[in-house]
Amino acid sequence: MVDAQHPPEVDRVAASRRAVEARRARASLKRDIATRVVSPQEALRRAIADPTSPAGTLRVPDFLTALPAIGESKRDRILAELGISPVKRLGGLGVRQRRTLAQWLDTRMPEPTPRPHRSRLVVLAGPTAVGKGTVAEQIRREHPEILLSVSATTRPPRPGEVDGEHYFFVDDARFDAMVAGGELLEHATVHNKYRYGTPRGPIEQALAAGRSVLLEIDLQGARQVRRAAPDATLVFLLPPSWDELVQRLVGRGTEDAEERARRLRTAKRELAAQGEFDFHVVNAEVAEAARQVAALAS
């Protein structure tokens, strides 16, 4: 017979393990919100879809302090303004409270509004280590109709890289000449080290022939393309979670603490630029992310 007051030891152990896991999942979600890997609106949608999920069981005050630039006193003012009790969990909000909170979020931190018109010039950018290269490579294999731009770089080739296929490997003098001759649509020094640039000619030819073009470049490059070709479609690739990005950035543990901290700071700064992009795609699964990016390019 089961005694509800005194559950067997195994049940108590299992229950406390579940509680620990749930707390860990909520802490991880708060990191996702703080680093903008998950938008607050998305967290609210998840909470409504499943009140028992990490988002659903997150207390509203904890949700608010996870948002950028909201401390405890601001949090209390917001709760009062929205008429939400501090004991409420996101998944337990009434219909009216959900709507008020959603509206408040939309005015304070709007989500990207997809552009009504599509350009055939698509830029794929995102934080370091999010997997842009892998997604672009998948698109190259699956969508030969899309031209994957081949950049020029002063970086030496890695084993297996083919000149003219992965990059045009050039020296500094040649790169300078390309810049001076206006041959590059954009160019930037990446990771304070080597220079990378997008040759203009092949892109113009492809676009003129009605083909779509995909550029896999860094953030500085994406901003330059926005200026040079304002109607280009800018896609930001997001990691499935902040913890996952940290794993991909420092996972091998070969860097010292200072280098790890530097990479994490850079990743946070890069994630904060996502508001400049027209579309966000989550790279949880390469094939699916590639499918979504390719769909935006056709």
Sole window of 44-52, 83-91, 111-119, 211-219 interacting with ligand 5GP (rule: CB under 6 A):
211-219
Taking the CA atoms of residue 251, residue 252, residue 255 and residue 259 in that order, the dihedral angle to the nearest 10 degrees is -20
Q: Is 155 in the site for ligand 5GP (CB under 6 A)?
A: yes
Dist CA 142 CA 137 (whole Å): 9
Of the pair 34, 190, the CB lying nearest ligand 5GP is at 190
Taking the CA atoms of residue 201, residue 233, residue 179 and residue 137 in that order, the dihedral angle to the nearest 10 degrees is -70
Of the pair 59, 140, the CB lying nearest ligand 5GP is at 140
**Least CB distance from residue 190 to ligand 5GP, whole Å?**
4
Exactly one of 197, 213, 277, 294 binds ligand 5GP (CB under 6 A); that residue is: 197
Q: Is 244 in the site for ligand 5GP (CB under 6 A)?
A: no
Beta pairing partners, 121: 213
**Least CB distance from residue 195 to ligand 5GP, whole Å?**
9
Exactly one of 46, 214, 216, 223 binds ligand 5GP (CB under 6 A); that residue is: 216
Q: Which residues inside 172-191 make contact with ligand 5GP, applying CB under 6 A?
A: 186, 188, 190
Count CA atoms closer than 13 A to 87's CA, side-chain side: 0
Q: Is 132 in the site for ligand 5GP (CB under 6 A)?
A: yes
Which of the 8 DSSP states describes residue 83?
Answer: T
Distances (CA, A) of 282 to 1, 89, 134, 212: 48, 26, 13, 21
Dist CA 29 CA 49 (whole Å): 16
Exactly one of 221, 244, 270, 271 binds ligand 5GP (CB under 6 A); that residue is: 221
* DSSP calls for 118-160: PPSEEEEE-STTS-HHHHHHHHHHH-TTEEEPPEEESSPPPTT
| Count of residues engaged in binding ligand 5GP, rule: CB under 6 A | 14
**Least CB distance from residue 101 to ligand 5GP, whole Å?**
36
Binding site for ligand 5GP (CB under 6 A): 132, 151, 155, 186, 188, 190, 196-198, 216-218, 220-221
